[in-house]
């Protein structure tokens, strides 16, 4: 890996789905981006813009129709139909290769309640993640579990609690600890703070910023919430109908948006002196422009 190699490089990602009446809809259409080690990218857009489909393709839950995903220069898309970047090594098959790919990119979802096993305590959950990936045995595993619990701010009581004995914020801390257990290069957060109330949201965002600084993990932060994205990301990519409409440093994109759709997203956020009529007007303009395309 050269110094300039991004932790995550995504090129020309595409995914379409069949429509009930025939034809197909492009959920993701030619999306490209990269994130440096220790960097943080926000992926924003309205509901249905394709954000979750991108997140799912990153972790291998959805197979791209085309495009490549590479971590530290190593391609991870099996993609017989995918394009190939010159100089990238193709991924191998089999369980070991799958687990290795899982260690590269981990994901935290909006609702950890559905992804956490209700029968396992927090400690057991983390031991399970270490065991699955064959990392740390015996004493070393117990020490690592202790470190992970500390890292996400879960105490002794929470360590021995099952998910139903944890608050929403604590469950999300556990989901983050489980993701970090395998030392991923990239952590994808798909609306990971959307279900939390604002003070807990702020705590989790602070935790993620600390983790980024402490571990050098690259973050991909999928969110409809522009305030959250402003807080946690260096760069932002704006999606509309599966396509990238704008990308750049977060402060520039959010303070001086170039694309009318980004302006519409920003104008939709209630704030002091907010005029909903302006949002309606911008949406009308955008719909007119789309029809003219």
Angstrom distance (rounded) from CA 247 to CA 243: 11
User: For residue 95, what are its two tokens?
Assistant: 């369980």
Q: Give the whole-angstrom CA distance, residue 177 versus residue 166.
A: 14
Least distance (Å) from ligand ATP to the CB of residue 224?
6
Distance CA 37, CA 292 (A): 41
Token pair for residue 107?
């994901």
Which residues neighbour 262 within 8 Å (Cβ) at sequence distance 6 or greater?
Answer: 238, 245, 246, 253, 254
In angstroms, what is the minimal distance from the CB of 40 to ligand ATP?
19
Binding site for ligand ATP (CB under 6 A): 17, 25, 27, 45, 47-53, 224
- Comparison of 48 and 153: residue with beta carbon closer to ligand ATP: 48
Close Cβ partners of 80 (under 8 Å, ≥ 6 residues apart): none
For residue 98, the minimal CB distance to ligand ATP (Å) is: 21
Q: How far apart are alpha carbons 29 and 176 in whole angstroms? A: 29
Q: Measured from the CB atom, is 19 or 277 closer to ligand ATP?
A: 19
Task: Find all residues with CB under 8 Å of 162, minimum gap 6, and list them.
Answer: 118, 119, 120, 121
Residue 48 or 83 having the CB closest to ligand ATP: 48
Nearer to ligand ATP, 152 or 239 (CB): 239
Quote the CA–CA distance of 14 and 222 in Å, as a whole number.
17
- CB nearer to ligand ATP: give 121 or 233: 233
88 or 195, CB closer to ligand ATP?
195
Distance in Å, CB of 289 to ligand ATP, minimum: 20
The least distance separating ligand ATP from the CB of residue 49, rounded to whole angstroms, comes to: 4
Smallest gap from residue 58 Cβ to ligand ATP (A): 12
For residue 266, the SS3 value is helix
Quote the strand ranges of 96-242, DSSP E. Answer: 105-108, 186-190, 218-222, 235-240
C-beta of 28 vs 154, nearer to ligand ATP: 28
Report angle CA 115, 118, 119 to the nearest 5 degrees. Answer: 130
| Minimum CB–partner distance for residue 292 and ligand ATP (Å) | 22
């Amino acid at each position: 890996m050269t110094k300039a190699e991004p932790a995550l490089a995504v090129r020309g990602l595409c995914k379409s789905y069949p429509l009930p009446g025939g034809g197909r809809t492009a959920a993701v259409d030619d999306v490209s981006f990269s994130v440096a080690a220790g960097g943080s990218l926000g992926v924003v857009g309205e509901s249905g813009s394709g954000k979750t489909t991108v997140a799912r393709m990153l972790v291998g839950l959805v197979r791209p129709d085309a495009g490549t995903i590479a971590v530290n220069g190593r391609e991870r898309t099996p993609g017989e139909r995918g394009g190939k970047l010159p100089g990238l090594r193709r991924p191998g098959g089999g369980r070991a290769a799958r687990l290795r790919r899982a260690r590269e990119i981990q994901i935290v979802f909006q609702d950890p309640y559905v992804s956490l096993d209700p029968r396992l305590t927090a400690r057991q959950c983390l031991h399970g993640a270490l065991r699955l990936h064959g990392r740390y045995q015996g004493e070393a595993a117990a020490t690592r579990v202790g470190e992970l619990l500390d890292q996400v701010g879960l105490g002794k009581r929470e360590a021995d609690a099952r998910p139903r004995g944890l608050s929403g914020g604590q469950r999300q801390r556990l989901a983050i600890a489980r993701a970090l257990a395998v030392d991923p290069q990239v952590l994808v957060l798909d609306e990971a703070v959307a279900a939390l109330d604002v003070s807990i949201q702020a705590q989790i965002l602070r935790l993620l910023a600390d983790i980024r600084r402490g571990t050098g993990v690259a973050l991909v932060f999928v969110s409809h919430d522009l305030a959250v994205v402003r807080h946690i990301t260096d760069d932002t990519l704006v999606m509309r109908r599966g396509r990238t409409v704008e990308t750049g440093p977060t402060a520039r994109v959010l303070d001086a948006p170039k694309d009318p759709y980004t302006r519409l997203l920003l104008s939709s956020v209630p704030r002091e002196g907010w005029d909903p009529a302006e949002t309606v007007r911008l949406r009308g303009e955008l719909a007119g422009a789309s029809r003219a395309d």
